[in-house]
Every structure is written in C-alpha cells, then in structure tokens.
C-alpha cells in the first residue's frame, strides 16, 4: 500500500506491476499502456472525492484554476460558478468585493452533466504535490496534475490529443476510453488537436475500460475520448513535460548567439522577396550551427534547462518544523536520510557541487562531494558524514540541507535502489 509521504518511488507505484525499465523501453513516447488492478482502494492514500471537495474551499480565491466543461451545452465562464464576496466591514474599510468560487454552484453544474476540471490540482493538495515531486524525481520530467470529476453518463471532452504525455490514475467510478491511432507522433504545442475539431480520418486503435485503481498512460499525440461513464468518475491525470530535443537545440542556438555576431544580425534587406535567400540562409545557418554545437555549449544549455525545470518545482514543508527541532538535538549517532518527497539533482561541477532543488540551485564546496554521495547511497550517521568535512562544516551542511527539506534526522530513509541521481 502507498503511504502518504513515501513518494520518491511514486512512479513505481503508479506503474506496478510494470517495471520502470519496461515502461521506458516499450511504452514511453511509443505506445499506450493500460494497467488493470482490480483494486478499487489502490489510490485511496493519494487522492479522493474528499480532496475535490476540500479544493473547492481551499481554492475559492483562485477560480481560474477551475473549469466546468461538457461536449454538449453552453460554455461556462468563471462568472457562472463564482459569487461576489464582500470584505468584512467593507463600508468602513472601502475594500472591494472579490469573486470567489461558489462550491454549491460548482456541484450543481456537475449534477447537470458538466465535468469539473481542477487545473494544477496540487496547488490545493499537499499529498498530491508530494506524489508529483516523486514522479519528477524518477522521470526527470516536470509533472503537473489535473483532476476530473464527472457524473454518470456525462462526457467532458470530445476526441482530442494532448501535446504532452499523460499518466492517468482512475480513482473512483468507471470510464471507457476510446483510443485512436495518432495523426501526428509526439506533436509540438503548435500541432494541437482540440476537443470538438473534426478529423474524419481517425481510426480506433482500442477501447479501454478504466476502473478504480487502474492506470492509463498515453504518449502525446494519441487521440482519445472517454465515451461512457459509470457512477461518479474521478480521475487524476499527470501531464508529463520533459526536456525535448527541440528545447535543447533552441537553447544551444540562443546561447551561441551571445557570442556569434552573425546570429544576432537582422535578416538582410530584401530578404522577404529575394529568390535565393532560402539557399543563402541555409548556408549561413549550417556554418553557424557547426560552430555552435560544441560539447561545452550543449552542456551549458542542459544546465540552463534543468535549472528552469527545478525553478518551477514547488517545495514541500511537510515535517519541516519537526526536523528543525531534531536539528537542535543532533548528535554523532543521529541518522541522516534523504527525504522521500523531494525532487532534486546533484550535479558535479569543476569548482563546486551543485544541488538542484525546488525553486533554486545551491552551490557547495567540492569537499562536500563525498557527503552527497553518502546521502544518495543510503542513510548515514552524522559522525560518519563527509570524512573530509570538519565538524563545523558538517554541521553547516546538515543544517542547510534540513532547512531545504532534503534530509531527515532519525526518520525513515530510502534506499534509492536503481533510482539514485548520479554525481
């Protein structure tokens, strides 16, 4: 059973019994995968109907994170499911009223056949955010989760494809998904297929009945629709957003332009009409790309994109206050272990050891390298951490990592078997 807080291996959990290696080799960006479990309670510790209801309260001041959709019927805007809430003593303070989510209106529309969509649902669920961080840690892919609540017999979206891979957890109720053959393999954002568009050349590939506890993975570009819903259906879908080849190439060229004047020039006069311009431009770019694609610049582009990925990752404060208290009682035999709900990477630099963690990148002296290797390998005592560290440096390092939420003191630690980031 999954235990809330033990999420560094959440990818293993959501794919079981399929191994991560088999998933990456046979399905990731290649083919759909349906995992049937016959276990309605499988995701009970991850998310549930009560979390949806809580989100309507917690997220009341962020109505833009909620949508109500259906394949037929008038479109709804925030004004349809919000209410003006006046400020306390507004006559005295002059504070204006604010539009807030009206949970009663939302549930009423769901009852009328609309699907409730909670966009970036981890904003309103800490345990869902920890689960997402675990997926990111293992896949090295940013994971954003949307939640969908649909009553029996209703359909929220017509056939469409997504421009990101999706990993869906069916939590309650049942849905039949109709999966079609791709029209575009691994499309970019500029190659959408939106719900409601007519594509007459679609061919059904398979139908899948998702039941509570099941998982469905779809590569981006695979058209799909949920055509039948039994009972009130709740599913949560992770949008997987990896760093793609085109992202890396664009960053390399952008970095190259900082030192290559020819890439910074404007297009020559008359370029919009000159018949030979395409050939001349191809020659120019080919020469510039040969010079741009150096191992050093590609490495730098990789680091820029990784830093950007971690910059949008959210930190988690679960247990932080208790860990600060434990820090005050730190002794030589205190056991230090990596927190199991944090997405991070350790990067070995020429002059430093860098830690990429939610929202930031931190640089540490090279003599901290062994300490990081020990933490990645498994639990270690405070006295045994970093044989090259002085007692003062060891204390500073541990305090910093505890405040960043990366390690725990005398708590249950992970063994990261097969999934440890490499230095």
Q: Which of 321, 334, 308 lies closest to 254, judged by CA?
A: 308
Residue 130 DSSP one-character state: H
Please tell me whether residues 52 and 167 are part of one structural domain. Answer: yes
Please tell me whether residues 81 and 174 are part of one structural domain. Answer: yes
Please tell me whether residues 83 and 56 are part of one structural domain. Answer: yes
The values of phi and psi at residue 404, to 5°, are: -85, -5
Q: Are 402 and 323 in contact (CB under 8 A)?
A: yes
For residue 232, what are the contacts with CB-CB under 8 A and spacing of at least 6?
49, 149, 150, 151, 152, 172, 173
Please tell me whether residues 268 and 383 are part of one structural domain. Answer: no
Residues (pLDDT < 70) of the chain are 1-8, 318, 340-341, 411-423
Residue 161 DSSP one-character state: B
For residue 152, what are the contacts with CB-CB under 8 A and spacing of at least 6?
173, 229, 230, 231, 232, 233
| pLDDT tens by residue, 150-197 | 999 888 899 999 999 999 999 999 999 999 999 999 999 999 999 888
Pairing of strands 98-101, 82-85: antiparallel
Alpha carbon distances (Å) from 347 to 65, 141, 305, 379, 402: 35, 17, 13, 20, 19
pLDDT at position 1: 55
Please tell me whether residues 64 and 148 are part of one structural domain. Answer: yes
Please tell me whether residues 172 and 299 are part of one structural domain. Answer: no
Q: Which of 349, 347, 369, 370 lies closest to 357, judged by CA?
A: 347
Torsion angle of C-alpha atoms 277, 280, 281, 282, degrees rounded to 10:
120
pTM of the model: 0.86
Please tell me whether residues 354 and 274 are part of one structural domain. Answer: no
4 occurs within a structural domain: no
Cis? peptide before 17, omega within 30° of 0: yes
Query: Percentages helix, strand, coil for the chain, rounded to the nearest 5?
Result: 35, 25, 40
Domains held by the chain: number: 3
Please tell me whether residues 174 and 283 are part of one structural domain. Answer: no
Q: Are 335 and 413 in contact (CB under 8 A)?
A: yes
pLDDT at position 7: 41
Please state, as a whole number, how many other Cβ atoms lie within 10 Å of the Cβ of residue 206: 11
Please tell me whether residues 336 and 362 are part of one structural domain. Answer: yes
CB-neighbour burial class of residue 302 (10 A; exposed 0-12, middle 13-18, buried 19+) = middle
Last residue of a domain, one of 311, 337, 368: 311
Domain range enclosing 275: 245-311
pLDDT at position 360: 84
151 occurs within a structural domain: yes
Please tell me whether residues 340 and 296 are part of one structural domain. Answer: no
Please tell me whether residues 366 and 347 are part of one structural domain. Answer: yes
**Which position has the token pair 């395409």?**
278
The upper half-sphere exposure of residue 64, i.e. CA atoms within 13 Å in the direction of its Cβ, equals 0
Q: Is the dihedral of CA 273, 274, 279, 282 positive or negative?
A: negative
Please state, as a whole number, how many other Cβ atoms lie within 10 Å of the Cβ of residue 32: 17
Tokens linked to 103? 């949970």
* Element containing residue 165 per DSSP (H, E): strand 165-180
402 occurs within a structural domain: yes
CATH number of the domain that residue 374 is part of: 3.90.930.40
Last residue of a domain, one of 225, 241, 257: 241
For residue 200, what are the contacts with CB-CB under 8 A and spacing of at least 6?
none
Please state, as a whole number, how many other Cβ atoms lie within 10 Å of the Cβ of residue 253: 18
Please tell me whether residues 43 and 58 are part of one structural domain. Answer: yes
pLDDT at position 16: 96
Tokens linked to 199? 């594509």
418 occurs within a structural domain: no
5 occurs within a structural domain: no
Last residue of a domain, one of 293, 311, 329: 311
87 occurs within a structural domain: yes
Segments in 17-125 forming alpha helices (H):
20-26, 49-58, 90-93, 103-111
Q: Which of 371, 316, 313 lies closest to 346, judged by CA?
A: 371
Angle at 219 between CA 177 and CA 313, to 5 degrees: 110
């Amino acid at each position: 059973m999954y235990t809330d807080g033990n999420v560094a291996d959440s990818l293993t959990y959501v794919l079981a019994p399929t191994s991560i290696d088999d998933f990456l080799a046979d399905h990731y960006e290649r083919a759909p995968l349906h995992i049937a479990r016959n276990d309605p309670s499988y995701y009970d510790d991850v998310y549930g109907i009560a979390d949806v209801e809580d989100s309507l309260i917690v997220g009341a001041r962020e109505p833009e994170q909620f949508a109500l959709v259906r394949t037929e019927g008038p479109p709804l805007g925030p004004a349809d499911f919000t209410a003006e809430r006046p400020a306390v003593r507004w006559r005295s303070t002059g504070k204006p009223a604010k539009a807030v989510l009206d949970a009663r209106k939302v549930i009423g529309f769901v009852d009328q056949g609309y699907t409730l969509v909670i966009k970036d649902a981890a904003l309103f669920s800490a345990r869902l955010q920890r689960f997402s961080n675990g997926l990111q840690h293992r896949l090295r892919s940013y994971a954003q989760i949307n939640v969908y609540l649909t009553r029996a017999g209703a359909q929220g979206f017509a056939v469409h494809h997504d421009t990101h891979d999706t990993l869906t957890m069916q939590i309650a109720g049942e849905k039949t998904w109709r999966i079609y053959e791709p029209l575009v393999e691994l499309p970019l954002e500029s190659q959408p297929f939106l719900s409601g568009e007519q594509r007459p050349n679609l061919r059904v590939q398979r139908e899948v009945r998702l039941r509570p506890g099941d998982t469905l993975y779809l590569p981006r570009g695979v058209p799909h629709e949920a055509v039948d819903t039994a009972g009130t259906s709740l599913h949560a879908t992770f949008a997987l957003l990896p760093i793609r080849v085109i992202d890396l190439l664009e960053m390399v060229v952008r970095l190259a332009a900082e030192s290559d004047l020819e890439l910074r020039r404007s297009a020559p006069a008359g370029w919009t009409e000159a018949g030979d311009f395409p050939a001349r431009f191809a020659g120019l770019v080919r020469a510039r790309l040969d010079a741009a694609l150096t191992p050093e610049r590609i490495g730098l582009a990789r680091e820029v994109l990784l830093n950007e990925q971690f910059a949008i990752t959210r930190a988690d404060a679960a247990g932080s206050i208790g860990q600060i208290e434990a820090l005050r009682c730190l002794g030589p035999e205190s056991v230090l272990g990596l927190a199991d709900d944090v997405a991070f990477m350790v990067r070995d630099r020429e002059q430093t050891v860098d830690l990429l963690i939610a929202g930031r990148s931190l640089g540490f002296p090279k003599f901290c390298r062994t300490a990081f290797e020990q933490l990645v390998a498994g639990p270690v005592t405070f006295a045994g951490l970093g044989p090259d560290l002085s007692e003062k440096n060891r204390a500073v390092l541990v305090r910093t990592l505890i405040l960043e939420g990366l390690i725990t003191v005398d708590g249950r630690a992970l063994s990261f078997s097969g999934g440890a980031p490499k230095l």
